[in-house]
Every structure is written in structure tokens, then in C-alpha cells.
Structure 1
Amino acid sequence: MMTTQTISRFNTVSPIVYFARTQLLAMLRNVKTLLIGILTPIFMLTIFWFTARGTEGAETIGLMFPVIVSLSVMLWGSNTAVRAVNWRQQNLFQRLAVTPVPVGQLMLGDAAAQTLTSLIQGIVTLLFGTLVLGYAIEPTGLLLTLLVLLLAGACFIAFGLVIASFVNRAEVANPIYMFTLLPLFFLGGGLPGIPLPTVLQWIGDWSPVGVTNALVLPLLFEGQVPEGALLKVLALVGYTAVFSLITTLKFRWE
């Protein structure tokens, strides 16, 4: 009985892992898309660095570093949305449906690969900011920062799939994703030191962007777990679960 259960679990997990590995390698070989994704946050960091260097606003701009590191992970959800809609338009899901593995499991593998790619993008941004631009971080909080970024990546990959669930054209998916993300980015820490109305401040603080920034900033700068970290992590997990549920219920394979 135990042997049968073990084989069953292996047969379920193995195709997911294999498909995730295949998709991850394919995305890493897609140099053009990868560079566009990586260069966007790096360009933003460089602009802030040149603008604030040697000025009184340097400290405030320095607060943008962890925010942009977080943003670099979130941006990959746009690629996920466009990719999923493209696959639907190209009838790729119908072709995957004839394989022995359920399409949903293959999509789970693809989402895992997308999440890892978003984390790689965040790591590259982090390395560029510290090694090239000289932004200071606290190494003791680095591991927990990467775990938070991994969770945030999964959350925004799931959000990208929510967008893909309701959009019919690939060229529309990216603008919708960005026009949804950017307001949350500014409300959730993208404008450090600028006061907001109470309601907007609360929305920003508890948005997926806000809870991510609230975790990453003290971990990178102070190496300390922020107050209320568990609740913020649970909020991020909750957002991921809700987005995944919506995708499961509403995503159209055809």
C-alpha cells in the first residue's frame, strides 16, 4: 500500500517538476525577454542614484532601493499574464490537454518556473544595487529577504494569471497588469516620506505591494524581522491563495 502511494505521488509530482525545469531553462534562454525584465528595475535604480547622489535627498532615495528590489520581482507577473493569453490564443492548452498529465498540473509547473525567474530578477537587481551603485544592506537579513521575495513572486505570478483569466488579447494583458500594479506600488511604499490620506494609506499598507515592502525594507536595512511580520506574511499567503482560487475557477483554457 505504501509503495503504491509513493509511486502515485511520484507520478504526480515528477511531471510538474520536469515541466517547471523545462520552462525555467527556456525562460533563461530567452535573453531578450529576460534582459527587458532585468534592465527595467536596474534603469530605475540608476536614475534614482544619479539624481540623488550627493544631495540631501540621498537618504530618502536610498529607501527606494528595497522598494525597487521588490518591484523587480512583481514586474514578472506581467510576463506571466501575456504568456498565458498567448498560449490560449495559440491553442497550446488544447495541445497540452492530450498529454497524460492534466493541464492544471502543467500550469502549476509553469507558475513555479515563473516564480523562480522573478526571484532571479530580484537577485540581479539586488546585486546591481549593492555591488555597482553601492547601496548598503544588512547581510543578516538577506536570507529572509529572499524568502519574502520568493513568496511575493508567487503572489504576483498568481495575480498575472488572474489578469489572464479575464483578458482575451495578449497586447491588452500587459497594460492592465501595469495599470493595476503601479497605483499599488505608489500607495504601498513607492513614495517614501510622502503622507497619504488615512484610507489610502491603509489600502497601500495592506496591499500585496505594501506588505512585501514592509517586510523587505527592515530586513535589508536593519537585518531585523519587522513588528507584525507574521500577520504580513499571512496576508501575502492569503492574497496568493485568493488569486490562485480565482484562476482555478475562472481561467479559460480555450
Structure 2
Amino acid sequence: MFVAFLRDRAALFFTLALPLMFLVLFGFLFKGATSPHVKVAQVGQVAVLDSVRGDERAGLDQVLTITQVPDEATALQKVRKGDFDALVEQGPNGQVVVRYSAADQVRAGGVQAVLQSVIQSANQQATGQPPKYTLAASQVEDQSLKPIQYLTPGLLGWAVATGAIFSASLSLVSWRKKRLLRRLRLAPVSVGSIVGSRVLVTCVVALMQTAIFLLVATTPVFGLKLTGNWWLVVPLVLCATLAFMSIGLVTGAIAKTEEAANGINQVIILPMSFLSGAFFPLDNSPQWLQQFSHVFPLRYLVLAAQSVLTRGGGLLDCLPAMGGLLAFAAVLTALAWRLFRWEDA
């Protein structure tokens, strides 16, 4: 078995290269990420922010992006949808009012930490006097909202992607290696029936994963609160399953052994999961890396699932993602068809 492993160049490459690739990946991912960068919507004038000038302003801009929004209702809606990390406006008696989304506790904590630092700096300049500014923070959602609102869509997307890619890839390699594909080709069964059966089984498994995730997350232990259009996650998951199956068909067409297929799949799934926001947001990563993440289909599944499950999104929020996932599936399925072999050469 060891000799066979050494002779399998694909399995050898991905097994030995994978740790090095992740070292490089995380080295770039967290390079220069020394402080959180948050995006806030400012409504009207906020004295403590407007008074920052010079070098202090330049330092503030490195960790805080401030966008003027004309009215509070629009700003609150954008915070709920995740376009901004928080809303900031001037309150009475020097109070700085912050409204944040609890769907992402990491970003919510970053917003409060940055603004608290600005307020402390302004108060220190008035030595010997009562604090000029205070911070009043609250979340835009109901107080029962918990971090599970952010974790569930990301982990669900990762689970769907992993199941679809591995099921398509390993099945294809195993069937070819055991000459089952040759027997199916000679049997009175159409290719469409074979492919349709595999797709149907994978879609059913993906829906089972979705049901299990939502059932567990909505228990009182975790407290997931679903929004009104949460059911849109069902067609979204089906479209995503087809997209990820197409990746598995390509890797299954290339790999000659299960070990090689497993290595190729891992080197695709793990970086895609980290670079798609399935586990944590990418706001602190370099700009070029954030742009690069747009090529991964998992990113669109995670963002659309977050919108419809926990942020009150509707059909228009997930329809572009579903269209993109189906287009991705069509392109990679065509590529897999060109690479497909009934038997090993």
C-alpha cells in the first residue's frame, strides 16, 4: 500500500503539498491584520467623529470606514442586511448612539471597541472635567438574537459543498475503478437515468443536511431565529448542490484513485471554505484576497443563505446567487463531460 501511494503522483503531491499551501494561505490572509476594520453608517453630525483631524483622522480611517446615510430608517435597514456593521448618530448630552447587528458578534465587538477608543481619546483631552462623550450601544434586532445567526448559514454552506463534491467525485472514481461504469454502459440503462439518479440522491442528502442544521440551530439551546422568507434556502441549496456536484465531476474525471480524488477535493474545499466567509468574515484580509474570493461559488451560497435565513432577505436577494450557481454548474459540467472516461486508460 505504501509503494502504491508513492507511485500515485497526484495523491503524493496533494498530501505533501497541502500543509505548505495552507501555511502560505494563512500567511497572506492575516498579513497586516492587526486591528479590526469596520464599516459604519453615520446619520447626521456626530461631534466626536467629526472633530477628529490630522494624523488622528488618518489612523481612524485605517480601522473605520464612515459613510453618510441621509436617514435613520435607511441606515437601520442596511445594518440588518449586513451592508454596514453599525449605525452611529448623535444622542443627547454628548451621547454617541450605536446600533449594531448581533448576527456577527465579531464585527459588533469591533465596532464598539473602535468607537469606545475614540471616545476615551476625546475625553482624555478634557482633563479634570466630567466625560464629555459616552457610548450607548444596542443591537438592531431583538435581544434574543445570538451568534448562531452568523454561524448557521456558513456551516450549512460548507456542509452542502463538502457532501456534493465528495459524493460526485468519489462515486465516479470508484465506479470507474471497479468497472461498474463499463457494466452500466453495456446495460439497458440510459446515461440520463444514471446521472439523474446520482443528482437526485445528492440533492436529497443536501436537503436532509439543511433540515438537520435548521432543526438543531433553532432549538432553545442555540436559539436561531429564522426570518419570514427562510424557506428560500431550499431552492438555494438545490442550485448550490448542482454547482458543487459539477466540481466533483471534474475532479472525479481527472483523478484515477480515491486517494487522489480525496486530496484534490480537500485542496479545493478547505481554501474555498475559509475564503468564502463560511467560518469567519474576510474584512481584515488584504483587498486582493477579498476580490479573489468572488470566484468561489460557496461565497454566494453563504451570503444568500445569511440574507434569507437571518437578515430578512427575499427572493431578489437570493435570485442572482441562484442564477450564478446554475451558470457555474453548466460550465463545469460541460468541462467534466469533455474529461469523462468510461474506463481507465
- Aligned partner of 2:187 among 99, 107, 111: 99
Matches within 5 A, 1:69-80: 69-76=156-163, 77-80=165-168
Counterpart of 1:209 in structure 2 is 298
Counting aligned pairs with the same residue, the percent is 25
Task: Give the residue type in structure 1 aligned to 2:187.
Answer: T
User: Once the 2 structures are TM-superposed, how far is the Cα of residue 103 of structure 1 from its aligned partner?
Assistant: 2.8
- Aligned partner of 2:335 among 224, 246, 251: 246
Matches within 5 A, 1:21-170: 62-76=149-163, 77-131=165-219, 133-170=221-258
Cα contact 1:187–1:204 (8 A) shared by 2: yes
Task: Give the residue type in structure 2 aligned to 1:203.
Answer: F
Counterpart of 2:276 in structure 1 is 188
Gaps of 5+ in 1: 1-51
- For structure 1, which segment, 186-195 or 174-183, has the greater mean C-alpha deviation from structure 2 after superposition? 186-195
- Measure the CA separation in 2 of the matches of 1:132 and 1:75: 28
Cα contact 2:276–2:299 (8 A) shared by 1: yes
Give the TM-score taking structure 2 as reference length: 0.53
- Measure the CA separation in 2 of the matches of 1:156 and 1:170: 18
Cα contact 1:60–1:193 (8 A) shared by 2: no
Gaps of 5+ in 2: 1-104, 111-144
User: Once the 2 structures are TM-superposed, how far is the Cα of residue 193 of structure 1 from its aligned partner?
Assistant: 5.7
- Measure the CA separation in 2 of the matches of 1:66 and 1:189: 10
Cα contact 2:203–2:241 (8 A) shared by 1: yes
Q: Map Cα deviations across residues 193-214 of structure 1 (whole Å, 9 max, x no partner).
A: 6422222212213420111111
User: Once the 2 structures are TM-superposed, how far is the Cα of residue 223 of structure 1 from its aligned partner?
Assistant: 2.8
Whether 1:224 aligns to 2:288 is no
Task: Give the residue type in structure 1 aligned to 2:297.
Answer: P
Q: Which has the larger radius of gyration?
A: 2
- For structure 1, which segment, 161-170 or 128-137, has the greater mean C-alpha deviation from structure 2 after superposition? 128-137
Cα contact 1:119–1:153 (8 A) shared by 2: no
Task: Give the residue type in structure 1 aligned to 2:161.
Answer: M
- Measure the CA separation in 2 of the matches of 1:162 and 1:252: 11
Q: Map Cα deviations across residues 162-184 of structure 1 (whole Å, 9 max, x no partner).
A: 11010000122122112201111
- Measure the CA separation in 1 of the matches of 2:150 and 2:247: 26
Cα contact 1:66–1:213 (8 A) shared by 2: yes
Change (3 A) 1:110 1:227: closer
Cα contact 2:173–2:256 (8 A) shared by 1: yes
Runs of 4+ in 1 over 4 A off after TM superposition: 56-62
Highest relative contact order (Cα 8 Å, sep 6+), 1 or 2? 1
- Measure the CA separation in 2 of the matches of 1:236 and 1:59: 29
Task: Give the residue type in structure 1 aligned to 2:314.
Answer: V
Task: Give the residue type in structure 2 aligned to 1:169.
Answer: T
Q: Map Cα deviations across residues 181-237 of structure 1 (whole Å, 9 max, x no partner).
A: 111111111322642222221221342011111100011112313876433222111
- Aligned partner of 2:286 among 197, 204, 208: 197
Give the TM-score taking structure 1 as reference length: 0.71
- Measure the CA separation in 2 of the matches of 1:219 and 1:206: 22
